[in-house]
Structure 1
Amino acid sequence: MKKPLALALALGAALPQLPARAQAPAWPAITQQNRPWTRWWWEGSAVNAPDLTHLLTQYEQAGLGGVEITAIYGVKGAESQFIDFISPKWLDMLGHTLTEGKKLNLGVDVAQASGWPFGGPWVTPADACKYVAYQTYSVKGGEQLAEKISFMQKPIATAIGHKVDIKQLKDPVATNANLQALALEQVRFEKPLPLQALMAYPEKGAAIDLTSKVDATGKLSWTAPAGTWTLYAIFQGWHGKQVERAGPGGEGDVVDHFSKVATQHYLQRFDQAFKGRDVKGVRAFFNDSYEVDDAQGEANWTPLMFSEFQRRRGYDLRQHLPALFAKASADENARVLTDYRETISELLLENYTQTWATWAHGYGAKIRNQAHGSPANILDLYAATDIPETEGENLTRIKFASSAAHVTGKPLTSAETATWENDHFLSKLSNVKKAVDRMLLGGVNHVFYHGTAYSPQAAAWPGWLFYAAVEFNPQNPFWQDFGQLNRYAARCQSFLQAGQPANDVLLYLPQYDAYQRPGKVLLQHFDGIEHGFKGLPIDATSELLLKQGFGYDFISDKQVQQVQASGTGLRTSGGAQYRTILVPAARTMPLATWQHLVGLAQAGATVVVQGQLPTDVPGLGNLTQRQAAFKKLTAQLQFNPTAGGQRATIGKGAFLLGADVPQLLAQAGVQRETLVDSGLQFERRRTTGGHTYFLANWGDQPLNAWVPLATSAKSANLYDPLTGQLGVASLRQSTKGRPEVYVQLPPGGSCLLDTKATAAATGPAYVYYRPTSAPQPVAGPWDVRFVSGGPTLPAPMRATQLDSWTKLAGEAGQKFAGTASYTTSFTLPSGSAEGYLLDLGRVGQSARVQLNGQDLGTLIGPAYQLYVPKSQLKASNILAVSVSNGMANRIADMDRTGQEWKKFYNVNMAAKLKENRGADGLFTAAPWSPIESGLLGPVTLTPMAAGGPPL
C-alpha cells in the first residue's frame, strides 16, 4: 500500500540518520601512469623497428608503464647501425616507438639531449655556456696604463678514459671526426677573450666606465685623474663543457642556460627536426640534471649579465665589481654576491626552465626536469616544471621536488630510482623495493627506474649495458620476478597519485642565508640540504621534523608570497592546506616575504619562528629604505612569554618564537605522527573524507602493534601492496581519543592505510595472523633442476640439505646466472591450525612458489614468507620453488676468463665501489667470490591462527 507523501516524509524525518558507509576495500584500477616507468638508453641510437617492438612488448609484460628514451654513447662494433640524434631516421624510430607504445599502452618521454645537460653540435659559440674572468690593474694619477687590456684563455682538453692533445682538435668541437671515440668532457681553445667591461675605481667615490676607451688591440686611451686607481677588466670566456655521455649526433657544447636566446636557438633545432612529423605521442620532454659545472671552472656568466642584473636588482653591478670578487668590505661582499646569485637563479628559471616549458606545451607535451644541482633556488625551478624529478637516497633531498609539486598543485613527482643502488650486478629486487619505498616516503609518486638499456635480440649475453647500475634488463635473471616489484609499485602509486598532500608544516627555505655564504667560486649549487644549506639551522630542523613525525614541505620566498590565510591555516597557490609555516632561524629575509608573513598572521595564521626573528634584508639595492621598512614591520610584533617560548598576537593570528620546535608546533595546533616512535616511516595524503597513509617498517624487527594516527578516523581499509591482501583494518580509539590501527609488518615491509573520518567500515575484515606453535621444518630432500640461464645449465641434482647452488652444483653452479626449480614433498602437519606461514628462510635472490600445482605468489624479499590456508594443503603435498639469482656470478667468470662484454664507447664501465675497480680504474668483477644463490633455507611451516588482531 502506498503511503501518502506527507506521511512518508514525516516518518523519514523521525528516523535516525544512518552513518555513512566507507567504500569496501578494493585495489584501484591500475593505469599506465600508476605503473613504474624506466629510463631507456638507446646506445648509439642503434635501434631498429623489430627489436623496438620486441623489447617494448617485454617491458609491458613485466608491468612497466612507460619508457623515457635517452640517446647515449654507442657500442663498439655496432657503428654501422648508429643513428644520429634527431636525424630523420632517428625520428622514424621515435615514431615507431610511439606507435607501438600506444598499442601496448606504454607511455613515452624523450630526453631532449643525447646525454646531459642540454647541448649538441648545433650549439654555436655564441650560444654555448660562458664564464667570467677578470684582471686588475693599478694606475696612479696623471699616468696611462702601459699594459694591454687582454686575457688569453688557457687551453683545456679532457676526455673520458684517455688523454687528448688539444692541438689535434678542431674548433668548433663538433667538426671533429670520431667524437664517440674521443669522448670529450671539456674543451677550451687558447684564444683572446672579449672584453665585457673595464671599470676604474678611485680610493673613494664612484667608478668610471672605461670600456669604450679600449681599442681593438687592447690599448687603453685614458689618463688617470689624481689619486690611485684600481681597474677591473671583465672578460667573457667559453666554459667548454661538452654534453656528457653523448651519442652520435649529440656531441657538442652545452648551451648557455642563462640566455633566453640560446635556449630558443637550441629548441629551434627540434622544431626543424619535428617539422611535418606527429610527435604528439610524446608525453613529456626530459632534462637529466644540470651538471654544467662538473668540469674545470664553472659556467657563471652570460652576455647580458650586466643589463639583466641592473634591471632586476636596481643598480649597476659594474660599480661593485670588487665586491663581486670579495675585495670590498665583508658586508658589501655578501650583499653583492647575494644579488649576483639571485640574478643567476632568476635567469635559469625564466630564460631556460620557463622558456623550455612554454616550448614543450606548444607540442601538447609536459616537461620533466631534474633541477637539483642547479645554481638557483631549486624549489622555484621545480615549481616551473610540470613533473618535478628528484633522485638520491636522502629524504630531505627527495622532498625538494615533492615539496614544489605539493605547494604548486602538481599531481606528479617523479624520481630517478635506484641509481647506483649498489655496484653493477649486485642489486636484488628487495634492495630496489627499499629504494622505491624511500622515494614514496619522500613524496614521490611516479617512479622511473635507472635503468634499462636497449639491447638487440642478436646481442650475446649480457647484451648492451649502461655504465651506471642497476641493470633492469631482460638479460638479468631477476627479470623473471621483476613483475612482482612492478605490481607492488603500481599498487602503491595508485593510491599516492590520488588525493592531495596532507603535510601540516611549510618549512621556509632560507635561500638568502645560503646565497650570502662566501666560497671559492661565484656560483652556489643547490641539491637538497647537503649542498647549499649544510650547517644552517634548517639542516638540523628538517631532520628533526622527520624523526619527530611532523609532515612538512619546503617552501621558497616566491611561493610564500603566494600563500593565503585560510581560517587559522594556510592555503598555497596549488590549493594545498597547511596548519602553519616554520621559519628555521633565518637571519636574512626579503622584505616582501616578511611583509607577507606578517600579513598572514594578521589574517589569522600562526607563524612559527625557531630561535630568532630575521634581522636584515638581503642584497644591496635600495638598502636603507628596505631595512627601515623591515624594522618597522618587526616592531609590530610584541612578544610575551609562553610555555617554552614567546607569543606575539597580531590581528587575528600570531607569531610563536622559541627554540623548542616540537613544542612550538604543538602550540600552533600541529599534531605529530607518533607512529614514528615505533620505527615506522610514513607519507600521508588527504582524500575525500579521510587520508591515505603509506607506512614502511625499516627496522630489523617485525611490527605487530596498534599504530596511532594523528588524523581522525572512524574506519580504515588496510592494503598489502606486495601480496595484494586487503580488508577492513581493526581500529580502536585510544585513551587519548586518537584512532589506532592494528598493523603487522615484517622487517622491510610496507602497507597502505585508507582512512575515513566519519564513515563506518564496509566489507570483509583484514585478516591478521599469529603463530599457535613452533615452526616445523620442511626438511626435503629437494630435487633441483636448472631451467633457464647460462652460460650452461648445471646438471640436475638431489639436495639433502639446502645450500647455495654455487656450492652444490660445482664449477657450473659457481658461474651460473639464471633460474633453478626446487621440488620437495611433505605431509600435512599435525594439529588443528587454520593455516601455516611458509617461510623460505634465506633466498638468493627471488622466488616463485607453487603448492600442489597452484601458484602461491612471488617473493622478492627481504622477507620470504607467505600464508597458506589449511584448505590448500593435502595429506601429502608437493612444494615447488623457482629461484632466480642475479648476473654477478656469470659476469665474474667472464671477467676472470677474459670474455669480452665491456665493449662500449665513453666510460666502459664505471664502478661505484673502489674495491671493484681494476688497474685501469674501471669496473671488474674478476676478484669476486661466488655470491650465494638459490634456496638457502631453512624452509619452515608455522601453524597460524587467522582472524582479528592478537589480544
Structure 2
Amino acid sequence: MMKMRSVYGFVVPALAVAFVLVSWSARAQAPTISQKIADVSSQFTTPPDDARVLMRWWWFGPAVTKPELEREILAMKAGGFGGFEIQPVYPLEPDDSQKNFRNLPYLSNEFLDVVHFAAQKAHENRMRVDMTLASGWPYGGPHVPVSEAASRLRMVAIDVPSGAMAFALPNIGNGEAMLAAFVGDGSAKTYDTASLKQIDVHAVSGRAEIPSSQQRRVVLCFVASRTGQQVKRAAVNAEGFVLDHLSSTAVQNHLRIVAEPLLKAFGDTPPYSVFSDSLEVYNTDWTDDFLMEFQKRRGYDLTPHLPQLFGGDGVEAGAVRHDWGLTMTELVNERYLTPINDWAIAHHTQFRSQTYGDPPVSLSSNRLVGLPEGEGPQWRSFSFTRLATSASHLYGRPVTSAETWTWLHSPAFRATPLDMKAEADRMFLEGVNQFVGHGWPYTPPGTPEPGWAFYAAAVFNDHNPWWGVMPDVSKYMQRMSYLLRQGKPANDIAVLLPNDDAYAEFKPGHASLSAEMKQYVTPALTEQILDAGFNLDYVDSESIDRVGLPYPVLVLPHMSRLSPETLKKIVEYAKKGGKVIVVGSKPSEAPGFLHAEQVSVEVKASTESLFALGAGVQFVAEDAQVGEAVQRALKPDVHVASDVANVGFVHRRLEDADVYFVANTSNHAVHTTASFRTKRVSAVWWDPFTGAMSNASASPLALDLAPYESRVLVFRDGPQSALSKAKVGTKTQVADLSHGWQVRFVGLEQTESMETLHSWTDTDVTRYYSGEAVYSKDLQLEEKQLRGTNLILDFGEGTPVEADPKIASGMRALLESPIREAAVVIVNGKRAGSVWHPPYALDITPLLHAGKNIIEVHVGNTAINTLAGRKLPDYRLLNARYGERFVPQNMDHLQPLPSGMLGQVRLMGEKIK
C-alpha cells in the first residue's frame, strides 16, 4: 500500500505524483517555438513541459537529508512545477547531535553529495535543475581575500589650518592604496573643485608635508578601498567578502574554487543553467587597475579629475562621471558576465542572470548571457523586468524568465493563489514567459507546521494549506508561458534609455544605471504609452548599433547627452519612415569628456538634421503629451474604450495569426469594448485556464473581465466554423446552497453542522486552525432542471480592499475571496475543478444527474492562523552561533484571518439557446 502524507489535511502521495512530466532532462533543451497557429493551438490545451514554473529551492543551513530532498522533489512535480533552482542560504537551527541535526558546510563533501543526489533525482523525474554559483548573493565567500573584495573609491577630506605645513594622512588598511591627493582653499565641507591642485604625498610617520599658506585649506585624499560588503544570507561556511565584479582575478578564482566543484557534483548531467542573482554589490565603483583601464579606454588620465567625481558640478564634471560609469560597465561586461557565460557554455550549461543593479550593467549587457532574467511586476513604470524582456526581444532570446512573487503579500504564508496570478499577469504584460517562483523552503521532517520559510518571501510548497489547487495555478502559468513564447514579439514603441545622461549623474557609492533610469523613464511616460494603446520595449545606443531599430516608433525621453554616431543612426531610421518623438529636451551635449566641445557641435548638428525631416519627428515638452504624440505617429494596437489604466495586453505575431493576452489588473470588474489593429478576419477566444476555444464577436468586441481576470484573443485568417460560441440566456437561481452544510476539519477530526456559513475564526476550536475543511451537502435535482441548461456552482463575488499602508514591500491582489482562500470541488465523487480566482464559479453540469447529488467543497486557508496562535521562534541561540543573518519580515502582531466559505453559495442555471 502506498504511503500517504497529510499536509494540513490535504493528502498527497509521499513517493508518487499526480502530474507526470515527460520531456525535461537535466541537459539544456531548446524551448518549443512555433510560427504557425495550427501548431500552437494543438499544444495550447496541453502545453509542453519546458514552460512549467520553476521554484527557487532554499536549502537552509544547508541542513538537508536525502529522503526529504526526494520527497520535496516529488511534491514539486505533483504541484505541476517543472524543476527548481538550488539556493543554499542561512541556517535556521544550530547543530544538535542529540536530534541528529546538522548543517552541512557549504562546498563540503557532504554538501556536494546532496547536490549530486538532488540533481540525479531531478534527472530521473525529467525535471529541470538550475544551480546558483554561490550561496546567498552577490557572489563571494571565504575564498575572497580582501585584495579581491568588492572595491570602491574612498575620499578623505582633511581640514588644514592656516600656516600649517603638514597634515596627517588617512589610515590605509589592508586591501587599500593611496591614489592621489589635492589641496585647495576651503574646508572639508565646502571647497571648489576647480581650485584644487594635485600634490605629491611623501609620508613621514603618517604625515605629509605641504607648502605653507595663510589661508584655511582642505586636502582631499583619494583611496582605492573596499566596500566591506559581506555575502547576504550566506550558508554555513559560505560567509565572506563579496567579490570584486570588475576584477578578472576575483571572478576567475570564484569560478575555480566555487563553480567547478558545484558542476562536478552534477556528474554527467550538468544543470540546465547556472544562476547569478541581482547585482546588489552596494557602493562598488572601482577596481585595482581602474586608472590604467580608464586611460586605455577613454584616452585621458582620470587622476586629475578625481575630485569632480565627488564634488564637481556642471557639464565637465558630468562628462567625467559619464566616462567613469561607462568604464565600469565595460569592465563588468568583460570581466564578470562574459567569462561566466563562456564558462557555462564550456561546461555544457547556460548562464541565467539578473543583469541589473550595481555595478552599472546596461540593457545590452543582457546580450552577454544566455538566459536573461528580470524581477519586479512594475508594468506601468520603469522596470528591471522590462530591461530583460526588451534585451531578449532585441537579441533573439525566445525565453525571458523572472524571479516572481518576491515579497508577495508579506509576511510569509500570507500569499494566496489569486496573489500569485495578479503578479504573474503583470509579468506577462512585461513580456515574461518563464517563472522562477520565490519560492520553496526546504523543511526538515518533524518540524511543526507550516514548516520553515524564507525571511522575506511567500511560500509555495506542500506545507501550504491551499496546496490542493496548486496544480491548477501552475497549469495556468505553464499554458500562458508557452503561448507567449510563440511567434515574435509585436511591441510598437521603443524607448531609448538615456544611459549617457544617467552615467553623468553617478556619484561615488551610487553607480547604477537601473537605479538612475526611473528619473528619465518616468511612470507618467510609461503610462502615456500604455494608455494610448501600445506596448513598449527599451533600447539603448549599443542595441541600435548592433541590431538597428526594429520598431515603428522611437521615443527619446529627457535626453541631453547622446553620441553623434547614435544620432546619425536615428536620422537614417527617420529617413526610412521611422517615427521619432523627443520628450522634454533635445540632445545637445557630448556624452564624455574628451574633445567634448567638438563632439557637442556634432551632436547639435545631428539633432538639427533630425528635426529638419519634418512631420515624422515630433517634440513634446512633457510626459503628459506623449500619448497623443504616439497616436499621431501610429494607430493604436489595442484601443480600449474605458478603464484603460487597468487593462493591459501583450501582442505576439505569428505568420498566420495575431495573439493577444489581455488582463484586468484591477480589483473591480471591467465592462468595455476593445478594437484591435489587425487585418485578420476571424477572432477566437482561448481560455487560459482550460484551453477551450470559442468564437468571438467582431471588432470592436465586448470586453467583460472579472477582477484580475485574463483572457487570450486570437485573430487568424479564414472562418472558424468548427468553433461555436454557446448562446446563453440570463442566469437564474436553481437553488440557494448557503445553508445546511456539514463541515469536517480534517486536521482536527472536528465536525460542525454549519447552518449558516461563517468564518472558522468565529469559534474557539477552529480560530487558530490552518488546513483543510470539507464542506458537504446533498443536492436534489429533477431531470427537467438538467435539460438544456448549464448549471454553475457560484460562490459569490469578491470584496475589494485597500492596500495595507503598514506593509510597504511587495504586492497583493486587493480582493478578498468569498472562499478563503481556495477550494477543490468534488461532485458525486469526481473532481469538478478548483475555485481560486474570479469569477468564483464552476460549471458542474457534466457531473450532475437527476436525483441526489453529493457536493463536496475542500477549502484550504492560509497558515497565518496557526502562526497567529503561537509565539515567534526564538533565534537567540542561532544568532549567537552564526550571527544575525536575517530578520523575519512583518511577522509581529499576526492575527487569524477569516477562513472558509463566506459568501452566498448558489446553483445558477444558464439556458442554452
TM-score normalised by the shorter chain: which range applies?
Answer: 0.7 to 0.9
CA distance in 2 between partners of 1:553 and 1:192 (Å): 42
Q: Is the 8 A contact 1:509 1:538 kept in 2?
A: no
Q: Is the 8 A contact 1:122 1:252 kept in 2?
A: yes
CA distance in 1 between partners of 2:257 and 2:204 (Å): 34
CA shift, 1:145, in A, is 4.8
CA distance in 1 between partners of 2:670 and 2:912 (Å): 17
CA distance in 1 between partners of 2:357 and 2:729 (Å): 49
2:145 to 120, 124, 130: 124
**How does 1:265-304 map onto structure 2 within 5 Å?**
265-270=253-258, 272-273=260-261, 278=267, 280-293=269-282, 298-304=283-289
Q: Is the 8 A contact 2:664 2:705 kept in 1?
A: yes
| More moved, 771-780 vs 436-445 | 771-780
CA distance in 1 between partners of 2:40 and 2:222 (Å): 69
CA shift, 1:861, in A, is 2.2
* Structure 2 partner of 1:464: 452
**How does 1:7-406 map onto structure 2 within 5 Å?**
25-28=41-44, 29-78=46-95, 80-135=101-156, 145-148=165-168, 150-152=169-171, 193-198=176-181, 214=202, 232-270=220-258, 272-273=260-261, 278=267, 280-293=269-282, 298-327=283-312, 330-395=314-379, 396=381, 397=383, 398-406=385-393
* Structure 1 partner of 2:526: 542
CA distance in 2 between partners of 1:795 and 1:225 (Å): 89
Are residues 1:480 and 2:468 paired? yes
Instruction: Decide whether aligned partners of structure 1 residues 120 and 488 sit closer, same or farther in structure 2, where only a CA change above 3 A counts.
Output: same
Are residues 1:804 and 2:755 paired? no
CA shift, 1:393, in A, is 3.3
**How does 1:927-946 map onto structure 2 within 5 Å?**
927-928=894-895, 930-946=896-912
CA distance in 1 between partners of 2:241 and 2:634 (Å): 53
Instruction: Decide whether aligned partners of structure 1 residues 707 and 725 sit closer, same or farther in structure 2, where only a CA change above 3 A counts.
Output: farther
* Structure 2 partner of 1:924: 892
Deviations 1:94-140 (A, max 9, x none): 11111111111211111111111110000011110122222457999
* Structure 1 partner of 2:398: 411
CA shift, 1:726, in A, is 1.3
Percent identity, aligned pairs only, is 27
**How does 1:735-750 map onto structure 2 within 5 Å?**
739-750=699-710
Are residues 1:777 and 2:798 paired? no
Deviations 1:741-782 (A, max 9, x none): 5555322211222322x2432533244655243564124411
Instruction: Decide whether aligned partners of structure 1 residues 224 and 256 sit closer, same or farther in structure 2, where only a CA change above 3 A counts.
Output: farther
* Structure 2 partner of 1:173: none
2:561 to 588, 606, 615: 588
Letter in 2 for 1:693: Y
* Structure 1 partner of 2:639: 674
CA shift, 1:269, in A, is 0.9
Deviations 1:886-930 (A, max 9, x none): 11111111228x8999978665874544xxxxxxxxx335x51x3
* Structure 2 partner of 1:167: none
CA distance in 2 between partners of 1:371 and 1:205 (Å): 37
CA shift, 1:263, in A, is 1.3
CA distance in 1 between partners of 2:875 and 2:166 (Å): 63
Q: CA RMSD in A?
A: 3.3
Q: Is the 8 A contact 1:729 1:741 kept in 2?
A: no
Letter in 2 for 1:536: Y
CA distance in 1 between partners of 2:795 and 2:878 (Å): 39
| More moved, 607-616 vs 793-802 | 607-616
CA distance in 2 between partners of 1:249 and 1:443 (Å): 38
Instruction: Decide whether aligned partners of structure 1 residues 458 and 205 sit closer, same or farther in structure 2, where only a CA change above 3 A counts.
Output: closer
Q: Secondary structure at the match of 1:473?
A: coil
CA distance in 2 between partners of 1:699 and 1:130 (Å): 44
Q: Give the TM-score normalised by structure 1.
A: 0.81
Q: Rg larger in 1 or in 2?
A: 1
Instruction: Decide whether aligned partners of structure 1 residues 767 and 495 sit closer, same or farther in structure 2, where only a CA change above 3 A counts.
Output: farther
Letter in 2 for 1:85: Y
CA distance in 2 between partners of 1:870 and 1:108 (Å): 39
Q: Secondary structure at the match of 1:81?
A: coil
Q: Is the 8 A contact 2:441 2:453 kept in 1?
A: yes
Q: Give the TM-score normalised by structure 2.
A: 0.84
* Structure 2 partner of 1:168: none
Are residues 1:694 and 2:661 paired? yes
CA distance in 2 between partners of 1:924 and 1:265 (Å): 42
Q: Is the 8 A contact 2:399 2:432 kept in 1?
A: yes
Q: Is the 8 A contact 2:499 2:513 kept in 1?
A: no
Letter in 1 for 2:764: E
CA distance in 1 between partners of 2:158 and 2:860 (Å): 70
CA shift, 1:525, in A, is 2.9
CA shift, 1:618, in A, is 2.1
Instruction: Decide whether aligned partners of structure 1 residues 39 and 221 sit closer, same or farther in structure 2, where only a CA change above 3 A counts.
Output: same
* Structure 1 partner of 2:790: 835
1:600 to 544, 549, 573: 573
CA distance in 1 between partners of 2:464 and 2:878 (Å): 18
Q: Is the 8 A contact 2:639 2:676 kept in 1?
A: yes
* Structure 1 partner of 2:802: none
* Structure 2 partner of 1:710: 677
| More moved, 796-805 vs 611-620 | 611-620
* Structure 2 partner of 1:656: 618
Letter in 1 for 2:56: R
Instruction: Decide whether aligned partners of structure 1 residues 323 and 357 sit closer, same or farther in structure 2, where only a CA change above 3 A counts.
Output: same
Instruction: Decide whether aligned partners of structure 1 residues 255 and 811 sit closer, same or farther in structure 2, where only a CA change above 3 A counts.
Output: same
Deviations 1:240-272 (A, max 9, x none): 110011001210000011222221122121355
Aligned residues: 832
* Structure 2 partner of 1:753: 713
CA distance in 1 between partners of 2:425 and 2:527 (Å): 18
CA shift, 1:310, in A, is 1.7
- Structure 2 unaligned runs (5+)? 1-35, 186-191, 797-817
